[in-house]
């Protein structure tokens, strides 16, 4: 059995430079390497005639050199090699640079295969630096070649070779991860075969079989993990039941607004959980602006008044700070004590907070990841709320929950996913949905525009600011990059401060700044001391500035739809008509469709469905923004059928063998443990 955990640096062809590049792709071990699946495949098995070649395409030709290679020294260390070849339809010139070893490679009159990019001008056909094979060789051509997502400085060919070396080390000696009974029942190919054929398929039929098997395995292990987690909660020892005499309505009656029907329904579901002795494990889904915070506040009130402490965890300091403000202003006259714990605070202050937390003098502790630290000790933690959960791993969720004795857990997320999918993916949680916005909301008008509209957009922003509003501008990058053609915060800030908006107050914000600086900028924006805030997506989650009514997103094509929707949700929070301007580059069909989805609807659920639909396998827009588990190979849209199938299989397996203890399920147990060891005890 090959050692899959072996560091990738021990694989043939991997020196220190390449280790760094591979690491950048998330490849650290031999296992990472062989499960680094291709983005697509290129069929180099079907040759074209020279006469049929099209400018710009990559193609395979079978041709015969008509003369010996000519060598042209352009300058020192720079030599061009040219070869004229022909087939029965025409001739083609092939050029390589500096590849001395090619000089005597080709024999006049023999047939070779060349695969490369075609340059065609005035019927003169060129191919630059193609890969090639002699007539009967299949090294570089004549087969289906994997194309990997790669990184700057790590050429496709090199990466392919390294993966090939990795596969050679495995030598088809992997132990299968699925039990025989599943393989035969569902007609799945074995693991070694699957791994080989997913990279270097003999034909597309084999590739599809390989993919089917790997998708099955990936989704099944997730389903098994979720189901056993859920059964674990259910059998676990008693949780905390909160005091039935503490009524949520005590606080609800004091609110400055009326809760929506959806908020009330969700609160009732939560209230039932809190009063029952079974620990709550609930996901609260609700579109941006649907009012999740107040739900958390009411739940927290109930917990504190029943004698317990509450932890509120948010993904950024900005958001945690905002929550603190919201909590304190609402709970001010109830005698409940809230504190903030983020990494930016002084050592002295921190020690003081930790001390009072341990004594039970603090009722609600709000913070970031800082809450997870070991020295954060509660006296009696009764409720944990994590906001915008897609930023936190499940592991962090359980780390914080372990600071209490089976506390109630509420996970809040603003990324709506289709309910069917949610039921499957969050199999370990109960789900509540706020499917209604507060009545005072105005629809946000969305306009996809191209660069040519810059001046008009800027004038529009000026008009709005002149009438008292504020604007956000979001860029994908912090600073300019040579590799990525997209706008950056620093570049835009420079230009807007000094030129375009020089009569206005422009500031910028990004994740690399110190938390204190960030908070200060945010505070000034809230206080209207800043007109235009240029930032990265750090302002994405939860930020609430009702006076801001314009959201401009630069290079909108680079964001997932769910994320665009989140960003757009930063405006339209007050009484003012709000606008979202999506500046995009590129004119592919998919980009236009995506932009039009954003224009057509403000409904997060529809957007997330469309997003899944418009994303192809392994596409650039990862699943990250959805808060869904990240898959190496499965695509939740394309593989919905498999997902449903494995869900029923998993239910059956766990039903008969909840802890996967039977001999026949040994492999499944190992599979689940390997993938989810930090979150599951079976």
- Binding residues for Mg ion, rule: CB under 5 A, are 542
Residue closer to ligand ADP (CB basis): 194 or 414: 414
SS3 182: helix
Helices (H), strands (E): how many in the chain?
A: 21, 21
Residue closer to ligand ADP (CB basis): 297 or 557: 297
20-49 binders of ligand ADP (CB under 6 A): none
User: Hey, CA dihedral for 512, 517, 523, 529, is it positive or negative?
Assistant: negative
Question: Does residue number 292 form part of the binding site for ligand ADP (CB under 6 A)?
Answer: yes
SS3 666: helix
Window of 110-118, 218-226, 252-260, 609-617 that interacts with ligand ADP by CB under 6 A: 252-260
Report the nearest approach of ligand ADP to the CB of residue 562 (Å): 14
Angstrom CA distances, 597 to 122, 417, 600, 617, 624, stand at 42, 16, 5, 20, 20
Q: Which does 280 bind (CB under 5 to 8 A by kind): ligand ADP, Mg ion, none?
A: none
- What is the distance between the alpha carbons of residues 9 and 57, in angstroms, rounded to a whole number? 35
Report the nearest approach of ligand ADP to the CB of residue 572 (Å): 10
Residue closer to ligand ADP (CB basis): 61 or 296: 296
Q: Which does 565 bind (CB under 5 to 8 A by kind): Mg ion, ligand ADP, none?
A: none
SS (H, E, C) 316-357: CHHHHHHHHHHHHHHHHHHCCCEEEECCCCCHHHHHHHHHHH
Q: Which does 618 bind (CB under 5 to 8 A by kind): ligand ADP, Mg ion, none?
A: none
Report the nearest approach of Mg ion to the CB of residue 132 (Å): 58
Residue closer to ligand ADP (CB basis): 286 or 427: 286
Local structure of residue 388 (DSSP, 8 states): S
Report the nearest approach of ligand ADP to the CB of residue 542 (Å): 6
Report the nearest approach of Mg ion to the CB of residue 563 (Å): 15
Local structure of residue 398 (DSSP, 8 states): H
- What is the distance between the alpha carbons of residues 559 and 365, in angstroms, rounded to a whole number? 33
Q: Do the Cβ atoms of 628 and 218 come closer than 8 Å?
A: no
Report the nearest approach of ligand ADP to the CB of residue 265 (Å): 12
User: How many residues bind to ligand ADP according to rule CB under 6 A?
Assistant: 19
Residue closer to Mg ion (CB basis): 273 or 287: 287
Residue closer to ligand ADP (CB basis): 291 or 407: 291
Report the nearest approach of ligand ADP to the CB of residue 635 (Å): 28
> In the complex, which residue's CB is closest to ligand ADP?
291
Question: Does residue number 290 form part of the binding site for ligand ADP (CB under 6 A)?
Answer: yes
Q: Which does 560 bind (CB under 5 to 8 A by kind): Mg ion, ligand ADP, none?
A: none
Among 240, 274, 288, 444, binds ligand ADP (CB under 6 A): 288
Question: Does residue number 477 form part of the binding site for ligand ADP (CB under 6 A)?
Answer: no
Angstrom CA distances, 130 to 74, 117, 302, stand at 20, 7, 70
406-435 binders of ligand ADP (CB under 6 A): 414
- What is the distance between the alpha carbons of residues 192 and 663, in angstroms, rounded to a whole number? 22
What is the number of other CB atoms lying within 10 angstroms of the CB of residue 28? Answer: 15
Angstrom CA distances, 494 to 306, 499, 523, 554, 610, stand at 53, 8, 21, 15, 36
CA angle 590, 205, 149 (to 5 degrees): 45
Sequence-distant (≥ 6) Cβ neighbours of residue 508 within 8 angstroms: 489, 490, 492, 493, 521, 533, 534, 535
- What is the distance between the alpha carbons of residues 551 and 444, in angstroms, rounded to a whole number? 10
Report the nearest approach of ligand ADP to the CB of residue 534 (Å): 22
Question: Does residue number 438 form part of the binding site for ligand ADP (CB under 6 A)?
Answer: yes
Residue closer to Mg ion (CB basis): 130 or 542: 542
Question: Does residue number 315 form part of the binding site for ligand ADP (CB under 6 A)?
Answer: no
Question: Does residue number 259 form part of the binding site for ligand ADP (CB under 6 A)?
Answer: yes
Residue closer to ligand ADP (CB basis): 487 or 570: 570
Q: Which does 390 bind (CB under 5 to 8 A by kind): Mg ion, ligand ADP, none?
A: none
- What is the distance between the alpha carbons of residues 573 and 246, in angstroms, rounded to a whole number? 32
Residue closer to ligand ADP (CB basis): 124 or 258: 258
Residue closer to ligand ADP (CB basis): 558 or 573: 573
Residue closer to ligand ADP (CB basis): 259 or 672: 259
Q: Give me the helix-helix angle, 16-24 and 156-170, nearest 10°.
A: 100
Q: Do the Cβ atoms of 646 and 223 come closer than 8 Å?
A: yes
Residue closer to ligand ADP (CB basis): 213 or 292: 292
Question: Does residue number 289 form part of the binding site for ligand ADP (CB under 6 A)?
Answer: yes
Q: Does an H or E element contain 313, and which?
A: strand 309-313
Window of 32-40, 245-253, 256-264, 468-476 that interacts with ligand ADP by CB under 6 A: 256-264
Q: Which does 286 bind (CB under 5 to 8 A by kind): Mg ion, ligand ADP, none?
A: ligand ADP
Q: Do the Cβ atoms of 570 and 492 come closer than 8 Å?
A: no
Report the nearest approach of ligand ADP to the CB of residue 651 (Å): 32
Sequence-distant (≥ 6) Cβ neighbours of residue 4 within 8 angstroms: 29, 30, 31, 34, 174
Among 140, 141, 197, 293, binds ligand ADP (CB under 6 A): 293
Nearest alpha-carbon partner for 115 in 164, 70, 161, 57: 57
Q: Do the Cβ atoms of 618 and 632 come closer than 8 Å?
A: no
Window of 101-109, 213-221, 251-259, 624-632 that interacts with ligand ADP by CB under 6 A: 251-259
Report the nearest approach of Mg ion to the CB of residue 292 (Å): 5
Window of 257-265, 272-280, 582-590, 602-610 that interacts with ligand ADP by CB under 6 A: 257-265
536-555 binders of ligand ADP (CB under 6 A): 542, 544
Q: Do the Cβ atoms of 232 and 681 come closer than 8 Å?
A: yes
Among 59, 198, 227, 294, binds ligand ADP (CB under 6 A): 294
Report the nearest approach of Mg ion to the CB of residue 293 (Å): 5
SS3 242: coil
Question: Does residue number 448 form part of the binding site for ligand ADP (CB under 6 A)?
Answer: no
Can you tell me which residue has the tokens 């599979």? Answer: 671
Report the nearest approach of Mg ion to the CB of residue 543 (Å): 9
Binding site for ligand ADP (CB under 6 A): 257-260, 263, 286, 288-294, 414, 438, 440, 542, 544, 573
């Amino acid at each position: 059995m090959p050692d899959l955990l072996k560091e990738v640096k021990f694989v043939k062809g991997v020196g220190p430079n390449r280790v760094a590049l591979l690491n950048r792709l998330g490849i650290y071990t031999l296992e990472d390497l062989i499960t680094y699946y291709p983005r697509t495949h290129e069929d180099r098995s079907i040759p074209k005639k020279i006469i049929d070649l099209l400018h710009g395409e990559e193609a395979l030709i079978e041709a015969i050199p008509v003369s010996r290679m000519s060598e042209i020294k352009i300058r020192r260390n720079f030599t061009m090699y040219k070869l004229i070849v022909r087939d029965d339809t025409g001739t083609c010139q092939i050029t390589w640079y500096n590849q001395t070893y090619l000089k005597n490679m080709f024999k006049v009159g023999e047939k070779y295969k060349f695969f490369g990019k075609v340059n065609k001008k005035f019927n003169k056909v060129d191919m630059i630096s193609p890969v090639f094979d002699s007539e009967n060789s299949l090294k570089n051509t004549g087969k289906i070649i994997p194309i990997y997502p790669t990184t700057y400085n790590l050429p496709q060919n090199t990466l392919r070779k390294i993966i090939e070396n990795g596969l050679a080390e495995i030598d088809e000696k992997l132990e299968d991860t699925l039990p025989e009974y599943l393989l035969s029942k569902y007609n799945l190919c074995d693991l070694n075969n699957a791994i080989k054929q997913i990279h270097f398929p003999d034909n597309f039929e084999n590739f599809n079989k390989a993919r089917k098997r790997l998708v099955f395995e990936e989704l099944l292990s997730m389903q098994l993990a979720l189901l056993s987690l859920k059964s674990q909660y259910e059998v676990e020892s008693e949780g905390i039941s909160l005091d039935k005499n503490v009524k949520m309505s005590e606080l609800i009656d004091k609110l400055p607004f009326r809760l929506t029907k959806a908020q009330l329904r969700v609160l009732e579901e939560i209230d039932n959980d809190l009063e029952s002795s079974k620990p709550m494990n609930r996901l609260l889904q609700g579109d941006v602006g649907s009012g999740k915070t107040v739900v958390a506040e009411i739940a927290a009130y109930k917990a504190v008044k029943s004698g317990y402490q509450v932890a509120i965890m948010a993904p950024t300091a900005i958001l945690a700070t905002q929550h603190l403000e919201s909590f304190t202003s609402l709970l001010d006259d109830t005698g409940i004590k809230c504190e903030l714990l983020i990494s930016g605070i002084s050592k002295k202050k921190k020690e003081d907070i930790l001390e009072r937390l341990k004594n039970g003098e603090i009722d609600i502790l709000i913070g970031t990841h800082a809450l997870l630290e070991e020295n954060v000790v509660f006296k009696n933690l009764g409720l944990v709320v994590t906001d915008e959960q897609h930023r936190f791993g499940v592991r962090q969720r359980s780390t914080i929950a372990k600071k209490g004795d089976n506390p109630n857990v509420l996970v809040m997320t603003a990324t709506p996913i289709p309910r069917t999918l949610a039921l499957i993916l969050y199999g370990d949680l109960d789900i509540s949905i706020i499917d209604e916005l507060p009545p005072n909301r105005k629809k946000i008008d969305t306009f996809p525009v191209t660069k040519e509209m810059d001046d008009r957009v800027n004038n529009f922003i000026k008009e709005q600011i002149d009438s008292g509003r504020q604007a956000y501008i979001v860029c994908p990058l912090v600073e300019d990059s040579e590799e990525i053609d997209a706008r950056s915060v620093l570049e835009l800030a420079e230009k807007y401060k000094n030129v375009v908006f020089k009569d206005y107050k422009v500031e910028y914000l990004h994740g690399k700044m110190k938390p204190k600086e960030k908070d200060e900028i945010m505070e000034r924006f809230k206080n209207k001391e800043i007109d235009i805030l240029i930032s990265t997506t750090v302002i994405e989650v939860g930020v609430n500035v009702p006076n801001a009514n314009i959201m401009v997103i630069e290079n909108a094509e680079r964001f997932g739809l769910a994320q665009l929707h989140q960003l757009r949700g930063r405006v339209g929070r007050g009484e003012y008509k709000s606008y979202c301007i999506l500046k995009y580059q590129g004119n592919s069909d998919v980009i236009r469709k995506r932009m039009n989805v954003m224009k057509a609807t403000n409904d997060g659920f529809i957007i997330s469905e469309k997003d899944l639909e418009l994303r192809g396998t392994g596409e650039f827009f990862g699943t990250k923004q959805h808060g869904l588990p990240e898959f190496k190979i499965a695509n939740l849209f394309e593989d919905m059928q498999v997902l449903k199938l494995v869900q029923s299989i998993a239910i059956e397996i766990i039903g008969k063998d909840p802890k996967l203890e039977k001999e026949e399920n040994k492999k499944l147990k190992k599979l689940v443990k390997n993938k989810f060891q930090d979150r599951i005890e079976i």
